[in-house]
């Protein structure tokens, strides 16, 4: 549903050269760019739907 199973692709990240090893400051803006909780919730929904369709 989201087009990928790869976190970086889901977040719209592309490989950049060079990659910084300094973490970004954890601000509200940082977390707004990281919808990880929503993606986990969607994955759980997909799994529940699968289990309902394939009970055994």
Domain ranges of the chain: 7-53
**What pLDDT shows up at residue 16?**
67
Contact 11, 33 (CB under 8 A): yes
What DSSP state is assigned to residue 53?
H
Q: Give the mean pLDDT per block of 10 residues along the chain (56 residues).
A: 82 73 89 84 93 91
As to burial, measured by CB atoms within 10 angstroms (0-12 exposed, 13-18 middle, 19+ buried), residue 30 is exposed
Q: The tokens of 22 are what?
A: 């300094």
**What pLDDT shows up at residue 54?**
94
């Amino acid at each position: 549903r989201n087009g990928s199973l790869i976190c970086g692709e889901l977040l719209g990240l592309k490989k950049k050269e060079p990659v910084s090893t300094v973490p970004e400051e954890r601000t509200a803006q940082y977390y707004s760019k990281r919808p990880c909780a929503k993606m986990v919730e969607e994955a759980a929904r997909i799994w529940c739907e699968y289990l309902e369709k394939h009970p055994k």
